[in-house]
Amino acid sequence: MGHLISIIVPCYNEEASLPYFYDAITAESDKMSGEYGVEFEYLFVNDGSKDKTLEILKDYAQKDTRVKYISFSRNFGKESAIYAGLQASRGDFTAMMDADLQDPPALLEEMYEAVTKEGFDCAASRRTTRKGEPPIRSFFARCFYRLINKISKTEVVDGARDFRLMSRQMVNAILSMTEYNRFSKGIFGWVGFKTKWLEYENTERVAGETKWSFWKLLLYSLDGIMAFSTAPLALSSFTGLLFCIVAFVMILIIIVKTLILGDPVAGYPSLVCIIFLVSGVQLFCIGILGQYLSKTYLEAKNRPIYIIKESNTEE
């Protein structure tokens, strides 16, 4: 008997694109089953959709035994959906892909070859272009990748999609990372293993709309930085040190000046500016500290990463 491949598909309000996705993935699966004798299971994770996504999934599950669905009690976010899918997956290999066909299913064959024949633990995809994306968004994305790779020891690959196929060993490694603040791109890099990168050009989603606003992406990138780097904390201590040195030099200058020139009263405006500057920097640094504290607070609560309302998987 051939390998079992689990395909995890996080779905949030995807009623418009699901039919296209289902057609495409079943066509690809049938092709691969014929070619390699592999079997498939699809793990659709309904992340608290407000449209007909769940009904569509249930409908598929009735006609097709490969279809498994897990439905959350509310919207927990894509990261939680991925984690739930990984926990439920039983495959020798597990892939994850978006429901909007931005991840071309045809790449699965190449990925499967990479992990079975070429000795890789994982085959992942990255897009080489950001066609169809607002230029300002691309610009900030590039800055983010450059920054996080400078300040974090974990490699985060620019343009990497979550679309990838992984060995059971790597899936288990990811499952062992039970943190609440999940940043997949960092987690994949952190666990290591040999990854083959497949490149393709960006395609636009087949239907529906992207769930990411610019603001959401910005917050997400900050989460990513905090999850995989403590550089901002180091930055705030460094700024503190720098300001101490500057203050010390200024004190010396003032003492010397007073001794030589006497003590003329002056400099009120500059004093006000300095107070504003210094207290601004202080608040900024406390803010950074607070961000880390709040993350620690959430981790310490040890809340579940997701809550299932209904599903047709065994556990």
Q: Which is nearer to ligand UDP, 11 or 114 (CB)?
A: 11
CA 91 to chain centre: 23
Could you say which residues in the range 27-66 bind Mg ion, by CB under 5 A?
none
Q: Which is nearer to Mg ion, 130 or 205 (CB)?
A: 205
**Size of the chain, expressed as the number of residues it contains:** 315
Neighbours of 270 (CB within 10 A): 9
202 binds, among Mg ion, ligand UDP, none (CB under 5 to 8 A by kind): none
186 binds, among Mg ion, ligand UDP, none (CB under 5 to 8 A by kind): none
CB of 297 to ligand UDP, least distance (A): 22
CB of 276 to Mg ion, least distance (A): 44
Q: Which is nearer to ligand UDP, 102 or 152 (CB)?
A: 102
- Only one of the segments 5-13, 116-124, 286-294, 306-314 lies at the binding site for ligand UDP (rule: CB under 6 A); that segment is 5-13
Chain residue at closest Cβ approach to ligand UDP? 10
**Cα end-to-end span (Å), the chain:** 24
**Residue of 102, 167, 221, 236 that binds Mg ion (CB under 5 A):** 102
CB 191 within 8 A of CB 170: yes
Q: Note whether 47 binds ligand UDP by CB under 6 A.
A: yes
Q: Going along the chain, which residue ranges are E strands?
A: 4-11, 39-46, 67-72, 93-96, 122-127, 160-167, 195-200, 308-311
CB of 120 to ligand UDP, least distance (A): 24
**Residue of 31, 58, 66, 211 that binds ligand UDP (CB under 6 A):** 211
31 binds, among Mg ion, ligand UDP, none (CB under 5 to 8 A by kind): none
CA distances from 98 to 25, 62, 71 (A): 11, 22, 16
- Tell me the three state secondary structure of residue 127: strand
Q: Note whether 14 binds ligand UDP by CB under 6 A.
A: yes
Backbone dihedral region of 30: left (phi > 0), alpha (psi from -120 to 50 degrees) or beta?
alpha
In the sheet where 67-72 sits, what is the strand order? 195-200, 122-127, 160-167, 93-96, 4-11, 39-46, 67-72, 308-311
| Cα–Cα dist 81/294, whole Å | 23
- Binding residues for ligand UDP, rule CB under 6 A, total 17
Q: Note whether 11 binds ligand UDP by CB under 6 A.
A: yes
CB of 139 to Mg ion, least distance (A): 19
- Only one of the segments 22-30, 97-105, 233-241, 257-265 lies at the binding site for Mg ion (rule: CB under 5 A); that segment is 97-105
CA distances from 261 to 79, 264, 265, 269 (A): 65, 8, 12, 20
**Residue of 15, 28, 100, 103 that binds Mg ion (CB under 5 A):** 100
Could you say which residues in the range 61-120 bind ligand UDP, by CB under 6 A?
75, 77-78, 81, 98-100, 102
Residues near ligand UDP (CB under 6 A):
10-12, 14, 47, 75, 77-78, 81, 98-100, 102, 205, 210-212
